[in-house]
Amino acid sequence: MIRPNRRQLLAGAGALAVAPGAAAQQASALPAGPIRILIGFAAGGGTDVQGRLIAEKMRERTGRTFVIENRAGASGTVAGDALKNAAPDGNTILLAPIASAVMAKLTLPQMNHDPFEDHLPISLLGTFQLALAVSPGLGPKTVAEFVAWAKANPKQANYGTTAMGSLPHFFGVLLARGTGVDFQAVAYRGAAPLVQDLSGGQIPAGTGALTDFLEHHRGGRLRILATSGTARPPAAPELPTFSELGFRDIVGSSWLGFFAPARTPRPIIDAFNREIAAVVALPDIKDRLIQLGLEPRTTTPEEFDTLRRADAAKWKAVVDASGYKP
């Protein structure tokens, strides 16, 4: 069981309404030097694209320099290691999905950091559905056709996943159980190399965040067959959900959020929180995030902490019941 550690979340108001003349004063709480945003996956994936979008707009708003630093590897936890070792001065923050911020703690045999002890939540960025995608050269165009193909070709029934032990991986486990197909997972170091292999036909199928796949689906580089939500995603209402196709147990959602090193002063946490909330509220940014498959949602640091701990408890029960071994 993951131990609560709320001592690091100092008392404060979280994301507050901003008076028109206060923007410059609030921005001044951010560090003056370059600010690194760590991404635990390869460039070109969904987390990377969204991180760059937010970083550029924050640069425009604050005049600060924001640099995206991709630290791919170990299911996204290499970037988490780097955040732990960074100075708690606001010059380094992390954008991470539930895969590395929660699931890694539950599924990896050993980690060099504890995300609940070493990372402070800043704000949620949004939530997103998971998706099953296939190579565009593969014959099946529906879930039923894909299941039939997989049963007829069991030796080829593999699926790539953006991180082992992550929600996309366990989504694949749900897919196997729900369809009766013995799918075998193949680990990738993020969405970008998985998309590349799907596009080239090196692997027949893949599971990942809708945000990782949607733009490539629209560009014809892969084909999304269904998503994991209880309702169709706002960004792509033409895509069916597994639930509506009769696979009611194949359901799940995920999130993406910002973190700072432990012991980062609360004024810096609040400054980032306000800037992130202000950027996400901009109509063009909100629309773009939706187009990418994210359902934008910001929070206070306390709300984000409550969410990640609740998800840890929920998914720990799922992982334990599955018999998963690292």
What does residue 147 show for φ and ψ, rounded to 5 degrees?
Answer: -60, -45
Q: Which residue has the tokens 């999905």?
A: 97
User: Residue 201's CB: how many other CB atoms inside 10 A?
Assistant: 11
- According to DSSP, residue 188 is labeled -
What's the chain's average pLDDT?
88
Percent pLDDT > 70 in the chain is 91
Task: Report the C-alpha gap between 202 and 198 in whole angstroms.
Answer: 6
Structural domain spans, the chain: 20-127+255-322, 129-227
Q: Are 20-127+255-322 and 129-227 in the same CATH fold?
A: yes
User: Which structure tokens are listed for 3?
Assistant: 């131990």
Q: What is the pTM of this model?
A: 0.77
Q: What pairs with residue 124 in β-bridges?
A: 257
User: Which structure tokens are listed for 272?
Assistant: 């980032």
> Is residue 20 very low, low, confident or very high in pLDDT (cuts 50, 70, 90)?
very low
Regarding the domain with residue range 20-127+255-322, which homologous superfamily does it belong to in the CATH classification? Bordetella uptake gene, domain 1 (3.40.190.150)
Lowest mean pLDDT among 66-70, 72-76, 136-140, 240-244: 72-76
- Whether residue 203 contacts residue 186, with contact meaning beta carbons closer than 8 Å, is answered with yes
Highest mean pLDDT among 43-47, 67-71, 247-251, 315-319: 67-71
Strand 184-187 vs strand 158-161: parallel, antiparallel, or unpaired? Answer: parallel
For the residues of 8-36, what is the DSSP string, one character each? TS-S---S----GGGHHHHHTTS-SS-EE
Q: Which CATH number fits domain 129-227: 3.40.50.720, 3.40.50.300, 3.40.190.10, 1.10.4080.10?
A: 3.40.190.10
CA dist 222 → 64, 204, 213, 245 (Å): 37, 10, 8, 20
Q: Identity (one letter) of the amino acid at 254?
A: S
